[in-house]
């Protein structure tokens, strides 16, 4: 299995500015939980009463999901899921993206499938037969507090059964990057499927990217994530807290030094402080894109990853790809929901990233 260091381009098409992807080749294939987000406003006191930790994601069963839903106020439904949001962002920029995930043939599953296809993402699932209250598509209850922070309670439903049967060889063998959602590492069959996807990607000269997704994923799978950095990954996405947890250090600078030693191209996000791209030439600090009012931070990391992945597969340097990620993140936090509403390509042109 070939591996790359961050001395090398993370994908075949980043060697020359403006270089496009090969004909009929996807930019990114994203593997993740197929979820429909159910969003509502909440107060900090509500989170405490529901025993939810602010700013994190908790996995819940059907009964607990129903109990939390009953306590929520007026809701808005929107297709989501971390890696699916990233695929949506790539497509919104004009890229070619596919998503691999599992849904049931219920209303949530039908809505998810319609929504992701309607924005140009390839998604070809074999839906699982639904049983109301028992076998359902995944959904995520998102409670958004006044400071725009989001706290999530996720019932994975059939998304938790994602496995090798859900891999689409035609997509995996014709892409520049395979992007793995760390949340999937919580599920045994999904973990095995992702290892298979890694092998397929490398056999077909694709780079593999991982987002560690959440502090609890790092806490539960730290050793395995660190192992993946030793030859299985070309690209790592993490936020500041996750990076420090992953490497067991007490400062962000120490985390940057630790990830640099792995030789993997890494993108470490810091919210309003922007991001740091760790390359062979050293760390590059990239300021956050300007944003008016921060309304809902749901999907900020997902859309940042979309911008970065589109950038590096379409001729941008890692630094400019991070700038594009910042533009995409700024758009999605300016409104409720984890999918872009504005024209991301136009925003990228306005920022001087594309002609």
Domain presence at residue 140? no
CA proximity to 55, closest of 159, 148, 179: 148
Could you report the per-residue pLDDT of 218-270, keeping only the tens digit for each? 999 999 999 999 999 999 999 999 999 999 999 999 999 999 999 999 999 99
Domain presence at residue 148? no
At residue 18, the pLDDT reads 37
At residue 133, the pLDDT reads 84
Domain presence at residue 5? no
Domain presence at residue 341? yes
**Number of structural domains in the chain:** 1
Domain harbouring 330, CATH code? 3.40.1190.20
At residue 23, the pLDDT reads 55
Which two tokens mark 22? 């090969």
Domain presence at residue 50? no
At residue 2, the pLDDT reads 37
At residue 169, the pLDDT reads 84
| 203: containing domain | 26-33+84-105+117-122+163-350
Domain presence at residue 345? yes
Domain presence at residue 94? yes
Determine how many CB atoms are found less than 10 A away from the CB of residue 290.
Answer: 9
Give the residue ranges of the chain where pLDDT is below 70: 1-23
At residue 243, the pLDDT reads 97
At residue 75, the pLDDT reads 93
Domain presence at residue 167? yes
* CA-atom Rg of the chain in angstroms: 19
């Amino acid at each position: 299995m070939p591996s790359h260091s961050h001395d090398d381009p993370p994908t075949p098409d980043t060697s020359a500015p403006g270089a496009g992807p090969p004909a009929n080749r996807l930019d990114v294939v994203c593997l993740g939980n197929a979820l429909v987000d159910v969003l509502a406003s909440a107060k900090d006191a509500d989170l405490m009463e529901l025993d939810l930790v602010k700013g994190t994601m908790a996995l819940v069963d059907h009964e607990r999901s129903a109990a939390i839903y009953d306590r929520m106020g007026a809701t808005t439904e929107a297709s989501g899921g971390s890696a699916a949001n990233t695929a949506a962002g790539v497509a919104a920029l004009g890229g070619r993206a596919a998503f691999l995930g599992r849904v049931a043939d219920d209303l949530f599953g039908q809505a998810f499938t319609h929504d992701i296809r309607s924005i140009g993402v390839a998604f070809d699932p074999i839906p699982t037969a639904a049983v109301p209250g028992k076998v359902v598509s995944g959904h995520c209850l998102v409670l958004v507090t006044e400071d725009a922070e989001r706290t999530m309670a996720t019932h994975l439903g059939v998304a938790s059964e994602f496995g090798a049967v859900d891999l689409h060889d035609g997509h995996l063998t014709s892409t520049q990057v395979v992007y793995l959602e760390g949340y999937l590492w919580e599920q045994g069959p999904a973990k095995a499927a992702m290892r298979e996807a890694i092998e397929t990607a490398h056999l077909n000269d694709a780079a593999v990217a991982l987002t560690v997704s959440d502090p609890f994923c790092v806490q539960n799978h730290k050793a395995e994530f660190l192992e993946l950095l030793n030859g299985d990954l070309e690209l790592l996405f993490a936020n500041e807290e996750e990076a420090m947890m992953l490497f067991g250090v007490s400062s962000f600078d120490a985390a940057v030094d630790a990830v640099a030693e792995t030789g993997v191209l890494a993108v470490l996000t810091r919210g309003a402080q922007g991001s740091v791209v760790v390359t062979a030439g050293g760390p590059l600090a990239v300021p956050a894109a300007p944003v008016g009012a921060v309304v809902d931070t749901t999907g900020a990391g997902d859309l940042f990853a979309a911008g970065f992945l589109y950038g590096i597969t379409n001729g941008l340097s890692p630094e400019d790809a991070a700038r594009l990620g910042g533009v995409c993140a700024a758009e999605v936090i300016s409104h409720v929901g984890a999918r872009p509403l504005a024209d991301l390509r136009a925003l990228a042109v306005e920022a001087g990233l594309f002609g």
